[in-house]
Chain A
Amino acid sequence: MLLSLTDVKKTYLTPGYGERREVLKGITFDLEERGTLAVTGPSGSGKSTLLHLIGLLDSADAGEIKFKDKTVAAMGEAERDRFRNREIGFVFQLHYLLPQHTLLDNVLLPALPGARRGDWPEIEKRARRLLERTGLKGFERALPGELSGGERQRAALARALVNSPSLLLADEPTGSLDRDTALSVAGLLRELNREENTALVVVTHSDELARGLDRVRRLENGLLKPLGPR
């Protein structure tokens, strides 16, 4: 099992006023290696919070998250950083490409912390291959500002995969794209999931994107309810 969540809860304090709001009330699900999962739900239902917990960006207040049989809560911050860098790739609604860097440098960014002496030529080769695979061959030296929205999101996808993660997390990856571009990016996401042997968790409002995945769950009132498998 790649990922397993058991009765995970998360509460936030209302900014400024000190009121408590329970966003996740007990989330439980498993995800096998190379498995895919779509999480849908209304705005403010806690989808992104769930993704942040899975992605080790945040910690749960209660419950257990296990990643490759390792309890996430037991990890220190540095270990989480290393683990996240090695095992998880992120794609956000906004591409978050660094405007000052070329596409190639942006894609290489996650490789900086973990690369070992002698690995770099191989990593760079992989980055170029991913750019080619995402249809951005020839744009290696381009700046993000010179690309369209879809191209930027595809570059972000390449960046997420550069370290060959075992899990790809996508938070509304097509949310800011027009329908055609969104379909193209969604298709690419699924293809790369298969080609790179990566599990995929997508938070999305897009039925089209959700439909292409193994399982679809709806997050409502802090609980995850099954809508699939398809």
Chain B
Amino acid sequence: MFARLSLTLRSALQSLAHYRRRYAAVAAGAMLAAALLTGSLLTGASVRGSLEAQAARRTGTIEYALRSSDGFFPASLAARLGARLKTAVTPALALTGEAGAAGRGGPPRRVAVLGVPDSFFTLFGGEGPAPTLSPAERTAFVSEAVSRALDCRPGDEIVLRVERPGLLPAESVAGRTDERFFPLRLKTAGVLPAERGALFGLANDQAVPLNVFVPWELLARSAGLRGKANLLLAKDRAGARLSAEELALALKSEMRPADYGIEVREGTGERVEVRDDRLFVRPVVEAAARDMDPAARGRLVYFVNRLGGAPYSFAAAVDPADLPVPLKDDEIIVSDWLAADRKLRPGSEVSLAYFYVADDAALAEKEARFSVRAVLPQTHPVFDARLTPDFPGLTDEAECRSWQAGVPVDFSRIRPKDEAFWRRFRAAPKAVIGLAAGRRLWANRYGESTSLFLRSRGRWFDHAAALVKRLDPAGLGYSFVPLRAEAAAAAGSGLDFTGLFAGLGFFAVAAGLLLAAFLFSAAVADRRRELGLLRAAGLSRGLVFARLGLEGAVTALAGCAAGAALGAAFAGLMILLLKTLFSGTIGEGDIGFYFSWTHFAAGLALSFIFSLAVFALALIRETRRPIGGLLSGAPDGRRRMKKARRWRRLAAGILLIGFAFVLTLGFQKKGIDPGYFFAASAASLAGLLFLLDGALVRSRPARAGLPPGNAARALAALRLNRGRTVTGVLVLSLGVFLVAAVGANTYSLPADPSRRDTGTGGFALWVETAAPVADNLNDPAARARLGLDDLPAGVSFVPMRVRAGDDASCLNLNLARNPEVTGVDPAALASRKAFAFAASVFRFPGGASPWRALDNGPGGQVPAGQAAAIADEESLTWNLGLAAGDRIAIRDESGRERSALFVAALSNSLFQGSVIVSEDEFLRLYPSSSGYTRFLVDARGFSAADRDALAATLRDRLRPFGADVESAEARLFRYNRVADTYLLMFLVLGGLGLLIGIGGFGVLVRRDLVSRRGEIALMRAVGIPARDVFRSLLAEQFIVLAAALAVGLSASLVALLPAAIKAPGRLPWAILICLFAVMAVGGFLWVRRSVRGALGGDLIGVLKNE
């Protein structure tokens, strides 16, 4: 047994040694495939490993984070939660601002200003003791990105302009303010290393954050938020892991009214008063209060511009039960002070003018008229100033002239008697109307009461506890998110470079495998007589298969092992290229080479299995041949098929091409999907190859005729070696296809960016502000207030609301789990027919813009309960892993997930990175959000110089809001550059495939010519001139080359036809023609060289040996 096994193994080894040159070529093909496959896997693993490491550095030991969606809470909540959870919970204050280096020029950079206690730094790793900050010395740490951006070093001073957080919604009448930022001058204590938490951030992307770490007390004090925080960071716990449920329970138990920003206090007349530090009692709080006492009485106090002619007063809308006299909706009770001032008495008409925020955010003055029902003393409890909530900038000021109301106040109208009233009665209302009437005038989405009065059934704090018990922290925007788990998941499920490389390297891998398979097949074919003899000697097919299979396996293993090692080097090179030449694709990601044995082994195993599979196919084909046929050594007679099979092949080809075309049309409709792309390309390639194969099947030659010329001889040879011909065409055309198809997808900026149907939507500028703009910038009054009244005619704005989230643009490699959401008025874009759409789920009559689908009102096309959304096709495909027609879960303000249907996909637009919903939908998702932070600026017909001037004006006038102004074209270019970098990377991979294709084709040509040296020698011996032999052979190979180019390009065109029909101008014909020329010339030279080589040497000697 052993001896027999030994003989079998020895035989295999002897065969390998004997045919070493042939097997070396086979191994080289397998090596190529293994190198590309393992390289792709290791590249993907490296990118993923880098992203995961970056995510780990970003989160440190922080397991969960809570960022209040609006408002601030006492930092003491952290200590209470920590004690309950038995882990460190660190409070922090996260604000935004701008930073500049003191004494240096240069534009300020938008930064994240993080007020942190020293315990924050212990949440991260790093050697030595954790760093500390000194509030007294006003020190700050900066991240390396900030240090680089500002060119500041330890010891340098930096100046921050920090967003002044307001408790009141910026958009509300009372929340409007001119003081949007406050300055902070700090000394840079050092550049915080990444492992110490410099990369900390809540967004699941790999963008390097521009972080400035400030002592928490200092920032809170400077921001007027002493003792407050808006961020809680829960450290992981040794032993039992923290769970979301445990955190939610702890939060529910530990939250107190003050944590919610609610005040519960003893009111008048055995009532307990509930107030909200957002001024208006939030609807969920009011609902909870009414749950405690369904007869709770509301009170709504409002600042009015004119009251019966008296300037700037407070008026109150009072629950009927609290009214001293019943009031109809058009009746009012005035104080004796107002009655005296305006000479009013019962039955007098009183006008009441007040500011109101219109739907378009414009501040509008409205007026209502009332009839005086009664006149009561100003000291009457109904006018009690203590029942007026705090209006920041008003109620805390000593005199009227110091008011900072945010809304326009004409101080010239304020009389001495008004100042006297203010000094004596403070914010006491001068008039009272019924609650229902008041709510009709002043209620808004933030609430409809400024106070609620509950019937007292005990001590006030019992009521407070009962109210808190009824509140759901998540409903008020307090919920912990699993920061570390989400970061790891986003990094782990981000852009799949493994798949990307393997997918794009697929053709190159396939080319390598094909080459290996062909060479192996040829090597086996050369040993047909040996197979025949073994079979004749009684060795079964299985034994013969095993015998040669063993040789193939050893060859494949050797090739794949060498290839896998080479793949590691290839991955190293790709990482280097990603960091340098292709750096655009990884944004600011810090990518390094990570070796993974798992991926290495997977690459080796997969390539080995693939190689074995293709070798096995070749062996099966040979061993199935009749023994007599094998002994004759002739090619397989079965390959000379009957005519009927020729037509079957042709029909299959035509069908496959048709299928590819339909598939291509299909994916154009839904948006580009790599799966469709590859399926369509594979089908068209296969179809064309079937057609070629069918055409090459031999038909009966003419019985008589002239001796064949060079071309006829060439054609006959191609037909005879149909397998080799088709393999040659396949190997070459794969590379040609990939390069041509990818090259044709290269983006170009729109020739005329002012066109509405381009990626800029025809807009000139893109503006982003750090502080929300509450005004409607199209309103002349608002423009006048903001100093924009001198804007040139024709300039208009499309304002957008933005909810920060993960960047879903190509600048982010991670999967965007909670993408940024943008709210826009669909009518503003639909009326302009702005932007081109790659796909739309619904059709609209008359070619109306798909933006209309966002208006999902009653009778809308999106199913009830779902939001309608639009996103850029690139973001959808690559960052969200979705397509038009798919759904996404959007987390609303209270942390609940809401389903949104993507009704359309934008084509290559500057809206990358965001999920767009209608403004109405946005406010339903985030009711407490306030103001606009993003604007599209329309300036049709402006020259480039005019646009630049407009940008400069906007930058200057909107500086109080921290505005960044960028040309729409430049923004689009930034995205396109990333996409083009990807394409360049793919072109390099495609080029590699093409090189393998051309190289492989060269090997095939050489091998073919070597095996036919006897035939060539014979032709020479019978007197055919060397020139004719050369031409004949050259013609033969050129036909293959031309067929390969034609098949590759045709397959590309099939895949690109719909795009070419839709936008013929977008296809870069010049690139295609250049690529074609390079491939044709390269192939020509290579073939010529091979043929010339084959004609050299001792041909007569060859003939003698034959």
Contact = CB atoms under 8 A, between A and B. Distances in A.
B627 A57 contact: yes
B98 to A, nearest CB: 78
B538 A52 contact: no
Interface in B507-556: 529-530, 532-541, 543
A108 B7 contact: yes
B748 interface: no
A94 B11 contact: no
A101 interface: yes
Interface stretch (B14-22, B676-684, B915-923, B1086-1094): B14-22
Count chain B CB atoms within 10 A of each CB in A55, A58, A94, A113 and give the residue with the most. Answer: A113
A124 B15 CA distance: 21
A90 interface: yes
Contacts of B533: 90, 92, 96, 98
Interface in A8-32: 15-18
Interface string B623-637: 000111001000001
Interface in B139-154: none
A120 B532 contact: no
Interface in A68-124: 77-78, 81-86, 88, 90, 92, 94, 96, 98-102, 105, 108-110, 112-115, 117, 120-121, 124
A191 to B, nearest CB: 22
A124 B532 CA distance: 23
Contacts of B537: 84-85, 90, 109-110, 159
Given A58-B627, A105-B14, A85 B539 contact: yes
B424 interface: no
A88 B536 CA distance: 9
A78 B540 contact: yes
Interface of A: 15-18, 48-49, 52, 55, 57-58, 77-78, 81-86, 88, 90, 92, 94, 96, 98-102, 105, 108-110, 112-115, 117, 120-121, 124, 159, 163
B538 A81 contact: yes
Nearest to A86: B538
Nearest to B632: A48
A105 B3 contact: no
B7 A113 contact: no
B642 interface: yes
A164 B534 CA distance: 17
A112 to B, nearest CB: 6
Nearest to B538: A85
A78 B539 CA distance: 9
19 contacts: A15-B640, A18-B642, A57-B628, A58-B627, A81-B540, A84-B538, A85-B537, A88-B538, A90-B537, A100-B19, A102-B14, A105-B7, A105-B10, A105-B14, A108-B7, A110-B539, A112-B7, A113-B539, A124-B3
Given A17-B700, A57-B628, A109-B537, A99 B18 contact: yes
B18 A100 contact: yes
Nearest to A145: B18
B286 to A, nearest CB: 87
B1104 to A, nearest CB: 15
A123 to B, nearest CB: 9
B1 interface: yes
B861 interface: no
A90 B537 CA distance: 7
Interface in B3-48: 3-4, 7-8, 10-11, 14-15, 17-19
A100 B8 CA distance: 13
Given A96-B533, A99-B18, A113 B700 contact: no
B306 interface: no
A110 B540 CA distance: 11
A113 B532 CA distance: 15
Nearest to A51: B628
B14 A101 contact: yes
B20 to A, nearest CB: 10
Contacts of A78: 540
A120 B18 CA distance: 26
Interface residues of B, number: 35
A203 to B, nearest CB: 13
B138 interface: no
A200 B100 CA distance: 104
The 6 lowest CB-CB distance pairs between A and B, nearest first, are A85-B538, A100-B18, A110-B537, A57-B627, A16-B640, A96-B533
Contacts of B529: 94, 96
Contacts of B700: 16-17
Contacts of A88: 538
A15 B626 CA distance: 15
B698 interface: yes
B532 to A, nearest CB: 7
A17 B3 CA distance: 49
Contacts of A16: 640, 698, 700
A117 B1 contact: yes
B19 A110 contact: no
Contact of A100 (B17, B626, B698): B17
Nearest to B640: A16
Contacts of B643: 18
B4 A82 contact: no
A167 B867 CA distance: 86
Nearest to B633: A94
Nearest to B13: A100
Given A90-B537, A109-B534, A48 B628 contact: yes
Given A86-B538, A99-B18, A110-B537, 17 more contacts: A16-B640, A18-B642, A18-B643, A52-B627, A57-B536, A81-B535, A82-B538, A88-B538, A90-B533, A96-B631, A105-B7, A109-B537, A112-B8, A112-B543, A113-B540, A121-B3, A124-B3
Contacts of A81: 535, 538-541
A107 to B, nearest CB: 11
A101 B12 CA distance: 9
Contacts of A101: 11, 14-15
Nearest to B537: A110
Contact of B637 (A15, A98, A113): A15
Contacts of B19: 100
Contact of B539 (A77, A94, A112): A112
Contacts of B626: 57-58
Nearest to B719: A16
Nearest to B551: A100
A77 B627 CA distance: 12
Contacts of A52: 627-628
Nearest to B529: A96
A110 B533 CA distance: 9
Contacts of B3: 120-121, 124
B536 A55 contact: yes
B628 A58 contact: yes
Contact of A96 (B10, B530, B543, B642): B530
A102 B124 CA distance: 70
Nearest to B628: A52
Contacts of B534: 109
A105 B11 contact: yes
Interface string B697-725: 01010000000000000000000000000
A140 to B, nearest CB: 13
Given A58-B627, A101-B14, A113 B698 contact: no
A5 B11 CA distance: 37
B14 to A, nearest CB: 5
A58 B11 CA distance: 27
A193 B679 CA distance: 64
B300 to A, nearest CB: 96
Contacts of A77: 540-541
A55 B18 CA distance: 30
Contacts of B543: 112-113
Given A16-B640, A17-B700, A96 B532 contact: yes
B31 to A, nearest CB: 23
A48 B538 CA distance: 18
Contacts of B14: 100-102, 105
Count chain B CB atoms within 10 A of each CB in A82, A112, A117 and give the residue with the most. Answer: A112
